[in-house]
Amino acid sequence: MTEAARVMVVDDDRAIRWVLERALAQPDLAVECVERADRVLERLLAEPPDVLVTDIRMPGIDGLDLMARVREAHPDLPVIVMTAHSDLDSAVASYQGGAFEYLPKPFDVDEALALVRRAVAHARERQRPIRAPEGLDTEIIGEAPAMQEVFRAIGRLAQSHITVLINGESGTGKERVAQALHQHSPRAGKPFIALNMAAIPRDLIESELFGHEKGAFTGATASRQGRFEQADGGTLFLDEIGDMPAETQTRLLRVLADGEFYRVGGHTPVKVDVRIIAATHQDLEDLVDDGRFREDLFHRLNVIRIHLPKLADRREDIPRLALHFLAEAAKELSTDVKVLTPEAEAHLTRLAWPGNVRQLENTCRWLTVMASGREILVEDLPPELRDGDPGGATGDWRAAFRDWADRALAAGHTHLLEEAVPDFERILIETALKHTGGRKGEAAELLGWGRNTLTRKLKTLLPEMAED
């Protein structure tokens, strides 16, 4: 049987001591309440309890000073700070001093009991070392079958200079794959330069790509190299290529064909040796059909295509990804690595993740800052991830779809139709083929398409099934 955890409460308010003494009188807790910190400081330093609960404003030694002295000797001791003065300064001072949690008065007795038990679990958890599983230092984490296909593609292209087009939703990790392609290529020792087409004003894109000469336009006070020259000998990653303006598409096509270009305002050709890796979350074939993307440029870029699955299609990778991102966040923020309880891990694995891997990474960074204990519980998750049907898999699919759209827009996504429609079609195609045992003619009939339309969609959305 586990020994009862020792909890010490320090508060000059007799009523608070009385309430907590009775609330914490549990079989798994041994509570001691005292009136003044200066009377127990020596004992606290010599024999610290498992959890210290202290008021801030008290005669003699106040709570923040008490916490500072005790934590200097016992830095792992969780301290819960109480105060009737629930102001910003008190909260900030408590957390800056290393408080486990801040409890404003009046508080709910059950909440206080749950918080003390959390602190006990935190203290005991810290006594166990965390061992990260092997392989978390790799460039890309993925055990799901869809990610194994990505790894195979990177492996096959390891000695190649060939142009690659990466397809996948926003946040799926397209730049990481591009970096891996570069690092495992003969160009690994040369620069990897990334440029996001959607993040640059249209009138500056050509200057960004090709550079400019002094005086080429207002504000061009000096000559400047573009990304092509910076990437000479290496790799240029063009993200969101579908957002490239038509006139820039024409110039890019010439560079790919001739290996040279002119700076904006320049008259001397600049020769470069650059490998292009492009990426998009859009359906470039549809953009070509609509006249928004040059067909000849599309064929130049679409030599080898790698499709990145969305996070919801590789759920088995979520626990390892979360562990990796929690470790990265702890290193970045110079704090302890937090771990997921089995319940929190299972909950995260069931979520829809409209923002994909990037959303999971940001969630882990948020949890590293905001979760109280070393262990992360389901209730520690942000409200939008904690509440409701995690997978959106039950009930009316239209309601689930509406919920996905709400969360995607809240996460800052744009071009939502371009994101949703390919997935919608991909799911219907997979389901139709499942019902027909892979017979494409019958699947096309179920979907209300012609056989040629289904064949074209397969090449775009499910290239691994197109040749079956």
pLDDT digits (tens, 9 = 90+) for 191-231: 999 999 888 888 788 888 988 888 777 777 788 888 999 99
**φ, ψ of residue 188 in degrees (nearest 5):** -55, -30
pLDDT confidence of 466, banded at 50, 70, 90?
A: low
Cα–Cα dist 326/35, whole Å: 40
Helix (H/G/I), strand (E/B), else coil: 161:
coil
pLDDT digits (tens, 9 = 90+) for 295-340: 999 999 999 999 999 999 899 999 999 999 999 999 998 888 999 9
Residue 59 clears pLDDT 70, i.e. is over it: yes
What pLDDT does residue 164 have? 94
- Highest mean predicted confidence (pLDDT) among 59-73, 161-175, 213-227: 161-175
- Indicate the pairing of strand 270-271 with strand 260-261: antiparallel
pLDDT digits (tens, 9 = 90+) for 367-408: 998 887 788 989 889 988 887 544 444 445 665 676 677 667
pLDDT digits (tens, 9 = 90+) for 401-448: 766 776 677 666 777 787 788 888 888 888 888 788 778 888 888 888
**φ, ψ of residue 406 in degrees (nearest 5):** -60, -45
Q: Look up residue 5 and give its two tokens.
A: 């955890």
Residue 14 clears pLDDT 80, i.e. is over it: yes
What pLDDT does residue 126 have? 66
Residue 163 clears pLDDT 90, i.e. is over it: yes
CA dist 302 to 61, 205, 254, 261, 293, Å? 70, 22, 16, 21, 13
Residue 116 clears pLDDT 70, i.e. is over it: yes
What pLDDT does residue 227 have? 92
How many other C-beta atoms can be found within 10 angstroms of the C-beta atom of residue 444?
A: 22
What pLDDT does residue 264 have? 85
pLDDT cut 70: percent of the chain above it: 90
pLDDT digits (tens, 9 = 90+) for 250-298: 999 999 888 888 888 888 889 999 999 999 999 899 999 999 999 999 9
Q: Give the contacts of 180 (CB within 8 A, at least 6 positions apart).
A: 139, 140, 154
Query: Contact, 307 vs 256, CB < 8 A?
Result: no
pLDDT digits (tens, 9 = 90+) for 118-143: 888 877 766 654 443 343 344 588 88
Cα–Cα dist 223/262, whole Å: 13
What pLDDT does residue 143 have? 82
Residue 242 clears pLDDT 50, i.e. is over it: yes
The rounded mean pLDDT for the chain is 84
How many other C-beta atoms can be found within 10 angstroms of the C-beta atom of residue 400?
A: 17
| CA-wise closest residue to 306 among 288, 280, 285, 286 | 280
